[in-house]
Chain A
Amino acid sequence: MHQENAAKKEERVTFTLAGALAGARRCVPVAISGCATGLVFGTLAGQAGLGAGEAALMSALVFSGAAQFLVLGIWASPLPMVAIVLTTIVVGLRHLLMGAALGPVFSKLPRLKAYGSVYFMADENWALTMGEFDKGRRDGAFLLGGGLLDVLAWTGSTFVGGTFGGAVEDPARWGLDFAFTAIFLALIAGMWKGRSNILPWTVAAVVSVAAYHWLPGQWYILLGGLAGSFAGVVRRGP
């Protein structure tokens, strides 16, 4: 196992157009459900007093559904700047873990490509990228390709939602609220390697459900992820 890891680390890391296109292709279903969410976000942003252009700009620059929906909840006049920024940071803390997980591969890329690509890192294209790396296909542009498609879909649909706000009915009626859950579940199924997954995943599930019920906001993602990943290490022993 250790030697296998060492051999893996010697593998070459590429950053190609083909990799970016492959990433974009794999992200098509993600982008489609992202459009549905973007329409809803644009609509709600309109109700919170943001113009369609402002909402679209936020989608393009912030590119984080979780953070954007949460700040809409506290969007008031005058704008509570500190609360808005703190919320964004707390929701984004999981990105620290995700970025660190990219580290072993991305550290072999030129700085501009690595730090430019992580701008486009969202839950979905990051998870797909980790799946690719796991299979030995180590093309750093995979993340960028998927992210570019996602940010276009997210920004475009936000603008449409903000412009024609009110036209989108309750997304739960069409099951679209479950689309992301389904994508994540499929990705989890693909990551199953055997019984070694049982303990960390059980710990992650228990902690996230507990945090979801007892803590506000998005803490459940970070706490579950931390607890589960630590359980994965402890299990291996020193």
Chain B
Amino acid sequence: MGLDPVTLLAIVLMALATYATRAGGLWLANRFELSERAGAWLDAIPGAILVSLVAPTVLTGGLAETLAAAAVVLVALRTGSLPLAMATGVVAVVLLRTLAAGLM
């Protein structure tokens, strides 16, 4: 389990690269005065990124994924509970995949 120096170098370079992207956005936002429009843009980023993260799985992953996603959204809107919504999604997707495999 020794550390190979070249592997260590790769890991450190990766760490520097990721930190640069993490700190870079904050640095840019601090440097430049935010206009009204820039503020509106920043407001719209979280939702747009989250939608982009899940859209391929939810919309093109298969019927089981799409239905399980609908169940998650329903539970989240009704209860507002993150753990409950996550558990619903995991259980639903397993059941639906099993069902889909059985129907094939």
B46 near A101: Cβ-Cβ < 8 Å = yes
When distances are taken between beta carbons in the complex, the residues of chain B under 8 Å from A7 are none
Given known A181-B89, A205-B59, contact A100–B49 (CB-CB < 8 A): no
Give min CB distance, A146 to chain B, whole Å. 12
Determine whether B54 belongs to the interface, using a CB cutoff of 8 Å to chain A: yes
User: Are the CB atoms of B22 and A200 closer together than 8 Å?
Assistant: no
Judge whether A64 is part of the interface by a CB distance below 8 angstroms: yes
Chain B residues with CB under 8 A of A209: 55-56, 59-60
- Quick check: A228 and B60 within 8 Å, CB to CB? no
Pick out which of these stretches binds chain B: A15-23, A55-63, A150-158: A55-63
Structural contact, B86 and A104, CB atoms closer than 8 A: no
Interface residues of B in 41-98 (CB under 8 A from A): 41-60, 65, 68-69, 72-73, 75-77, 80, 82-83, 85-86, 88-91, 93-94, 97
Is B29 a contact of A88 with CB atoms below 8 Å?
no
Query: Which bucket holds chain B's interface residue count?
Result: 35 or more
In the complex, what residues of A have CB within 8 A of residue B58's CB? 181, 185
Q: Is there an interface contact between B53 and A123, defined as CB atoms closer than 8 Å?
A: yes
Determine whether the beta carbon of A191 is less than 8 Å from that of B52. Answer: no
> 1/0 per position for A177-215, CB-CB distance to B under 8 A?
011011111111111100001001101110111001100
Minimal Cβ-Cβ distance residue in B for A9: B39
Q: How far is the CA of A231 from the CA of B13 in the complex (A)?
A: 35
Within the complex, what minimum Cβ distance (angstroms) separates A33 from chain B?
7
Majority SS at the chain B contact face: helix
| A13, CB-defined interface residue at 8 Å | no
Chain A, Cβ-Cβ closest to B59: A209
Question: Are B45 and A225 in contact, CB atoms less than 8 angstroms apart?
Answer: yes
Q: A205 — nearest CB in chain B belongs to which residue? A: B55
CB distance from B46 to the nearest CB of A (A): 4
A67 cross-chain contacts in B, Cβ below 8 A: 14, 18
Chain B residues contacting A28 (CB-CB under 8 Å) are 83
B75's closest neighbor in chain A, by CB? A186
B85 touches A182 (CB 8 A): yes
Q: Does B103 contact A (CB under 8 A)?
A: no
Contact B3 A53 (CB under 8 A): yes
Pairwise interchain contact A181-B54, C-beta atoms closer than 8 A:
yes
Contacts of A165 in B (CB 8 A): none
Interface centre among B3, B10, B91 (most CB of A within 10 A): B10
Tell me whether A26 is interfacial, beta carbon within 8 Å. Answer: yes
List 18 contacting pairs A-B, 8 Å CB cutoff, sorted by A. Answer: A51-B2, A51-B3, A54-B3, A93-B21, A95-B24, A96-B24, A96-B28, A99-B29, A103-B34, A182-B89, A186-B76, A188-B47, A188-B51, A209-B60, A212-B60, A229-B44, A231-B48, A233-B41
B: which residues have CB within 8 A of A? 1-4, 6-15, 17-30, 34, 36-37, 39-60, 65, 68-69, 72-73, 75-77, 80, 82-83, 85-86, 88-91, 93-94, 97
Given contacts A33-B86, A191-B47, 18 further A-B contacts (CB under 8 A): A79-B6, A79-B10, A101-B45, A104-B29, A123-B49, A175-B90, A178-B89, A181-B57, A182-B90, A185-B72, A186-B86, A190-B80, A201-B47, A201-B48, A203-B48, A220-B56, A222-B52, A232-B43
